[in-house]
A and B are shown apart, each in its own frame.
Chain A
C-alpha cells in the first residue's frame, strides 16, 4: 500500500520499521523490542497500511499499529515458536500462524484471547504458509517433512486437498499470481533450486530456477498480478529477478511412461510415440509385442500448461509355456556352490546342466574345470591320462550334438506352432528355411565328430569345426529357451551363407529386411569369437602346462558378462562363487554386486529362500553379505492378549504372562515354534511332532482336530 514502508525482524527479538521516504539519513521509523526471542516473521496487512503482524520464537504473535509506540494486541499460541504468520488476503480479520510443533492456527485479529481454529498440518515444524491470492479458502503450508500441502479451509475441518512431495524441507511457499494452481517453493537445506509446481501434477515441478549457488532464503513474486517475474535472495549473496520464460521445464526432459503388470503376468507399457520409433535396436519380444491403439484420450484442459503427448501402448502377453522357468528352479536347487573341491563342483554342475539339456552351460563348466584346476595336476600324470581326460570333453560334445539333431526337429515344430499364433508369414518362411539349412551341416558334422572328433582336438586345427560345433550348441540351448532362438539362428544363417557361396541370395535379403534381426546382430557377433577362443585355449595346457590360470581370466570374464547379458545371471553368479578368488578381482565390484542382486531377486521370486540365502552367504561383496543383516526384526503378538509385544523378552508387558508357551511341555518356546492355524495352539516343533504321532487332537486340550501341513 505504502511504497516507502519496510519492516524487518531481527534474531534478538526486535521489530523495526523503516520509511524510505524520510529525508534524513536515518530511515528508521519505529523500533519494537517487545519480543523476548528471535522474531521469525513479520507481515503487513494486505489493505491496512499501518497494521503489522509479527511471530516470534517465544510463541507470541503481536499486532502493531505503526502510529503507536507499542503493540496493539498480543496473541499467545500456547506452544512453541511461531515460524510464519500470514494475513488472509480476502478476509479482513483473519490471519494464519504456523508453528514449530506442526500445528497451524487461525486467528481473528479482534480476539486475542484464543484462536479460532487449529489443526496439525505436518510432522515437525511448519516453516511457512501462504493464502491463495484468489481463492479465499485455500492455504498452502510447507514443512520440514518435505511436503507442501494445500488445505481447504472453507469446510468445518481443514481438509487437505493437494499434497506435493519435494526433495528437501520447504522453507518458503508462494502462490503464483494469476495462475490458480501454481505455487513456488524453495528449501533451506541441501537443495538450492526454486521450484514452481502445478499442484495437480505433484510429481514433477512445472518449472525450476537453478541459478543460485547456495540455499535460497526468500522468494517473492514481483507484482501481485504479474505471474512472470520472481525475485529471490540467497545465501550466496545474490538477488535474482527470474523471468518465467527462462525457467527450465523439467517436463520437457522427462519421458512420460507408464508400466503395469496384469493379473496373469501380462505387462502393459505406454510410452511416448517418438521414443518408440527412434529406438530401432529394440529387442523384439517373442511373446508378441502387440500395439494397441491408444483409445482413452483426456480432453485437453486449456488451463493446464502441460504438453500433451501421444503415446503408444504396448501389451506384452505372457505365454505360459515359453516362459516356464523350470530349468532355472531345478538348476538353482541342484547346483553345488561350495563344500567340495573345485573340480568336483564343476563336474557336478556340468552334470546338472547336462541333465537339464543345457549343453552349452554344461560345457562351460567342464571348460572351467580344465582351465582353473591346478596346472600341476594336468601336467604331472602320464600323457595317456592326459589324453583320456582331454578326450572326454569333445566326446561329450559330440554326444550333445546327436541329441541336438532330434532336439532340433522338436524345436522347429515348436517354432512353427508359435509362428502360427504370433509371427507373420514372412517370418515363418525364413525360419523354415533356416532350419532346413541348419540340418545339413549338422549331419555332416556329426559324422566327422563321431569318427575323429577327439583327434581334431588333439591337434588343435579344427577351428572351423569348433565354430560350427559351438554355434550348434547355442541352437540346442535355444531349443529350451525359445526367446533366444531368433537372433542366434539368424546369425548362424549368415555364417553359412558366407561359407557356402551357393546359398540362396534372396534368403539373406529376407533376413536383412526383417527389422528384428538387425537389432540383435551386434550382440551375437561377440558370441562366437569368445567361444572359439576358449576352445583353442583349452588345448593349450596340454602343450604348455605351466601357463597360469590367470591367463584365462579375461576370457572367463567375457564369458560371464555374456551370460549375464543373455539373461542367464544364474550362470554368471554360480561361476563367480565357484571360482571365488580365482576370478573375483577381474570383475569390478559394482558389476558383481549387480549380478548378485539380480540373481537373489530372481531366486526370491521363485521362493527359493534357501538357495538365495546360500548365495548371500557365499558372496564376497560386502554389499551383498550385509543383506543378511537387514530386516532381521520380527514383530510378534502376545498369544494371550493379542497385543503386539513391544519389549524383547518372553513376557508380554500387558498381561504379564509368558507368550508362546509350548502346549506340550509348558515351557517358553525359544526356537522353532509351530502352531495349528485352526486353534492357534502350538509349541516346540519336536514336541508337536511327537504328540501328533499319538493323538490327532490339540495338545492344549481345546478339542480341536489340529491340522499341520
Chain B
C-alpha cells in the first residue's frame, strides 16, 4: 500500500501495557485457551484482555459479566448501554474505554452525533449524569432522593427500576474498569487516537505512551528488597496471633486509616477533547470521605447493608442473573490466590488480600465491625497505599512512578492481582451505596 502513496499508520505502543513489559504478558500457559476463546468471540484480543489474562479464572467471569451487561437481554437497548459506559468512562478521562465503547455504540446503531456532545443524547440519558458523577467520585452521597428523582411516577423522563439497576451496574462496572485501565497503564489500541502515528519511527527515539514519562525498565534493584518481603510475611503471621483490642480502639484505628492523608493530588494535563465534551462538571472530583475537622457523613457499617445479604437479593430481583454473575465475580476475586508472594511459595496471602479489600472499603467509608484496622497499617506500606488510593479515587492520576514504587520485588502478575482487588472492592462499595439508596426508596 505504501507504494500506492497511501499513508500506512504505525502502531505506537510497544505492548499492551506501559508499565508491564510485553514479554511478561505473553507467556504460553493456561491462559492461552481463554485468549483464543476471547479472540473468537470478540474478533480481537485487546490490551485489557491480555493483561487480565494473567489471571484466567478472573478473566472468564469478567467476560461473562461484560457480555451479559452489554449484549444479552436486558431492559436497556444496546446502544444505550454503550453510551452509558462511555459517559462513565469519560468521568475518569479514560480515553481507552471511551474508544472501545464508541466503537460498540456505533456498531449497535447509535447516532454519531451523541458522541460529539451530550446535548444530542436524549434527556433520559442525560438525567443519569448526577448519579454518574456521584457514583464515580463520592458514592456515599447518593441518597434516596437521587433515586426518587429518576424513578418516581412524577419524574419525566422516567426510569424503571430494572433499567436503573442496569444502568447503575454498567456505570459502576465501567468506573472500576477505569481504575484497572489506568492502574495497569494500558496502552491505546492501535486503532485509537493516540495509538498510531503516520510518522516513520526514528531510531533512537523510543515510542512513548501517553502514560509514562518515566523509565520503562528501570526498576531499581534494591538489595534490601528481599528483607522487605520477609518482613511483610512475618507481620502477616504475627497479625493472626495478635490479641484482641477494645471496640473503642478498633473504631479509632478505623478512623485513623480513613483520615490518614495520602498525597494523591498530582495534576496531569487536560484530558483529550474527545473525552472532555462528554463530561459535565469536570471539576467534581473525589474528596476524602470526611476531611479532618468536618462533620463526617455517616459511615456505613458493613453489617447493616452487605452484598451477600442485601445487595444480591435486590439485584437479582430486578435484574435476574446479574446478581449471580456479580456474586461469582466477587467470590473469584476474594478467593484468588496462588499461595505465593514475590519469591516465596506456599504463603497464605489471605490477610494481605483482606487488608487491601478492607482498606479500599475504608476509603469509601464502609466499616467492618469485626476487622482490626491496625492490620492495614502494618501490612500496607505507604507506597502501596498511595497506589491504591490513587487508583481507587483518582485513577486518571496513576503514573508509572507510583506503579513501580510499591512491592518492588513482586511479580507483575501480583501487582495486577492487587489491581483486580482494588477494582472489585471499589465496584462493590459503589454498588452498596446505590443499592442501599434504592432499597430505602422501595421501602
Contact = CB atoms under 8 A, between A and B. Distances in A.
Contacts of B73: 629-631
A168 B313 contact: yes
- Among B33, B439, B442, B443, max chain A CB count under 10 A is at B443
A127 B308 CA distance: 11
B279 to A, nearest CB: 28
A57 interface: yes
Nearest to A650: B40
B439 A12 contact: no
B316 to A, nearest CB: 8
Contacts of B33: 653
7 contacts: A36-B370, A127-B309, A144-B313, A190-B313, A647-B41, A648-B40, A653-B37
The prevalent SS among residues of A at the interface is loop
Contacts of B370: 11-13, 36-38, 57
B313 A100 contact: no
A224 to B, nearest CB: 28
A626 B77 contact: yes
A37 B350 CA distance: 14
A487 to B, nearest CB: 39
B314 A651 contact: no
A169 B41 contact: no
Given A11-B370, A38-B370, A629 B78 contact: yes
A12 B250 contact: yes
B244 interface: yes
Contacts of A189: 309-310, 313-314, 317, 439
Contact of A124 (B72, B303, B312): B312
A610 interface: no
A11 B301 CA distance: 10
B115 to A, nearest CB: 22
Contact of A38 (B37, B303, B327): B303
Nearest to A213: B443
A350 interface: no
Contact of B439 (A10, A57, A190): A190
Contact of B77 (A13, A190, A629, A648): A629
A501 interface: no
Contacts of B443: 213-214
Contacts of A144: 308-309, 312-313
Top-9 shortest CB links A-B? A649-B40, A11-B369, A648-B41, A37-B370, A189-B313, A12-B369, A11-B303, A38-B370, A169-B313
A57 B369 CA distance: 12
Contacts of A188: 309-310, 313
Interface of A: 10-13, 33, 36-38, 57, 100, 124-125, 127, 144, 168-169, 188-190, 213-214, 626, 629-631, 633, 647-649, 651, 653
Contacts of A626: 77
Interface in B276-321: 301, 303, 308-310, 312-314, 317
Nearest to B72: A633
Nearest to A626: B77
B247 interface: yes
A12 B247 contact: yes
B281 to A, nearest CB: 30
B369 A38 contact: yes
Given A125-B309, A648-B40, 19 more contacts: A10-B369, A11-B370, A13-B244, A33-B244, A37-B371, A38-B369, A124-B312, A124-B327, A189-B309, A189-B313, A189-B317, A189-B439, A190-B442, A213-B443, A629-B78, A630-B73, A633-B72, A647-B40, A653-B37
Contacts of A631: 73
Nearest to B77: A626
A647 B37 contact: yes
Nearest to B369: A11
Contacts of B371: 37
Given A36-B370, A189-B313, A649 B41 contact: yes
A100 B307 CA distance: 12
Contacts of B310: 188-189
A37 B351 CA distance: 13
Nearest to B370: A37
B191 to A, nearest CB: 21
Contacts of A13: 244, 370
B250 A190 contact: no
For A13, A189, A647, which residue has the most chain B Cβ atoms within 10 angstroms? Answer: A189
Nearest to A649: B40
B440 to A, nearest CB: 10
Contacts of B247: 12
A11 B250 CA distance: 12
Interface in B51-97: 72-73, 77-78
A630 B76 CA distance: 11
Contacts of B308: 100, 125, 144
Contacts of A33: 244
* B77, B244, B247, B313: residue with the most chain A Cβ atoms closer than 10 Å: B313
A127 B313 CA distance: 13
A124 B308 CA distance: 9
B40 A190 contact: no
A527 B247 CA distance: 78
Contacts of A629: 73, 77-78
Nearest to B240: A36
Nearest to B76: A626
Nearest to A630: B73
B87 to A, nearest CB: 21
B246 to A, nearest CB: 10
B311 to A, nearest CB: 9
Nearest to B247: A12
Nearest to A188: B309
Contacts of B312: 124, 144
Contact of A651 (B40, B301, B303): B40
A651 B308 CA distance: 38
A168 B318 CA distance: 12
A12 B327 CA distance: 24
